[in-house]
């Protein structure tokens, strides 16, 4: 503001990549409404939660957004790639902003209503039609089928969290809000040594070693990363609809097996 810049947009997030956090959309929408700001919600990861009656409260207020990004290929496991940009605006905003009016692509003298053509309304022009993948999956699974898929992911994530709490040497980074379960594996050599000056530095080196071991074993593939001041931790995203509680047990057992000598 000191430089004369005037904000015009607020971008909120529903389902952050690492921790799976959801911004308070109602409160943010109040601020945007008060100051006449465009509210965009990045719900690429968490937007599918709307299909669950149990968990959709995480997105309370999203109906007040001016635009929403949503990727059904993530939590819903639609065929790659399937992305949507949803707008409250009904004035053909995307066409006015991005339409190329290329006469060699989009002829205006067709025998049908050219308003039905989508080519000049999208940013990527000739990319395949993402909505068809979503429609076919939705038609096959139905509302209840997709809702079960989401609720199952939440239930498995909760099962994994409770199992982590039961086991020595596993420590949650935080209580998850979504299906991102973030935790440290504390090897035997570091247990009870949280007060050591080099504890966090040594703990941060554990996840890369275990990742190398599991890849070479061919048993698992789990991501890890640091976050802010937190050292490397594992991030298990429970989204595959084929996963079971037995898979969660195997994951933890395998970490303990691979890290028992560390």
Q: What is the pLDDT of residues 21-60, one digit of tens each?
A: 999 999 999 999 999 999 999 999 999 999 999 999 999 9
Query: Is residue 100 predicted with pLDDT exceeding 80?
Result: no
Give the pLDDT mean for 227-254. Answer: 96
Please state, for a pLDDT cut of 70, what percent of the chain lies above it.
99
- Phi and psi at residue 200, to the nearest 5°: -65, -35
Q: Tens digits of per-residue pLDDT, 156-193? A: 999 999 999 999 999 999 999 999 999 999 999 999 99
Pick from 169, 159, 157, 182: which is nearest to 257 by CA? 169
142-259 has which fold?
Answer: 3.90.1150
Identify the burial level of 200 via C-beta atoms within 10 angstroms of its C-beta, where 0-12 means exposed, 13-18 middle and 19 or more buried: middle
For position 102, what pLDDT does the model report?
78
Residue-wise burial string across 66-94, b where 16 or more C-beta atoms lie within 10 A, e elsewhere: bbbbbbbbbbbbbeeebbeeeeeeeeeeb
User: What is the architecture, at CATH level 2, of domain 9-134?
Assistant: 3-Layer(aba) Sandwich (3.40)
For position 217, what pLDDT does the model report?
95
CB 50 within 8 A of CB 36: no
CB 82 within 8 A of CB 133: yes
With cut-offs at 50, 70 and 90, classify the pLDDT of residue 1.
low
How far apart (Å, rounded) are the C-alpha atoms in residues 194 and 171?
A: 12
How far apart (Å, rounded) are the C-alpha atoms in residues 85 and 93?
A: 12
Beta strands in 147-228 (DSSP E): 170-172, 180-185, 223-227
- C-alpha 153 chain-centroid distance: 13
Pick from 44, 85, 46, 47: which is nearest to 66 by CA? 85
Parts of the chain belonging to CATH 3.40.640.10: 9-134
Whole-prediction pTM value?
0.89
What does the mean pLDDT of the chain come to? 93
Compute the Cα dihedral for 163, 24, 60, 9 and give only its sign.
negative
Parts of the chain belonging to CATH 3.90.1150.170: 142-259
CB 186 within 8 A of CB 208: no
CB 161 within 8 A of CB 248: no
- Phi and psi at residue 41, to the nearest 5°: -115, 120
For residue 13, list its beta bridge partners.
42
How far apart (Å, rounded) are the C-alpha atoms in residues 109 and 95?
A: 18
């Amino acid at each position: 503001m000191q430089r004369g810049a005037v904000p015009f947009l607020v971008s909120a997030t529903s389902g952050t990549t690492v921790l799976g956090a959801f911004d308070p959309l109602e409160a943010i929408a109040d601020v945007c409404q008060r100051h006449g700001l465009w509210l965009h919600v990045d719900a690429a990861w968490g937007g599918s939660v709307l299909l669950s009656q149990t968990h959709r409260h995480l997105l309370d207020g999203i109906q007040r957004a001016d635009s929403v990004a949503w990727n059904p290929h993530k939590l819903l496991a639609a065929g790659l790639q399937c992305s949507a940009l949803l707008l409250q605006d009904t004035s053909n905003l995307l066409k006015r902003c991005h339409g190329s009016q290329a006469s060699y692509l989009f002829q205006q003298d067709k025998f049908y209503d050219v308003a039905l053509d989508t080519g000049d309304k999208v940013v990527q022009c000739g990319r395949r039609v993402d909505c068809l993948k979503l429609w076919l999956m939705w038609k096959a699974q139905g509302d209840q089928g997709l809702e079960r898929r989401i609720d199952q992911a939440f239930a498995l994530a909760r099962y994994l969290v409770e199992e982590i709490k039961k086991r020595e040497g596993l420590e949650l980074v935080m209580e998850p809000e979504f299906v991102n379960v973030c935790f440290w594996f504390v090897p035997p050599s570091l247990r009870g040594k949280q007060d050591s000056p080099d504890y966090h530095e040594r703990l941060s080196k554990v996840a890369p070693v275990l990742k190398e071991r599991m890849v070479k074993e061919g048993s698992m593939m789990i991501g890890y990363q640091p976050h802010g001041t937190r050292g490397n931790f594992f991030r298990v995203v429970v989204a595959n609809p084929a996963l079971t509680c037995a898979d969660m047990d195997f994951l933890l057992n395998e970490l303990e097996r691979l890290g028992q000598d560390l």
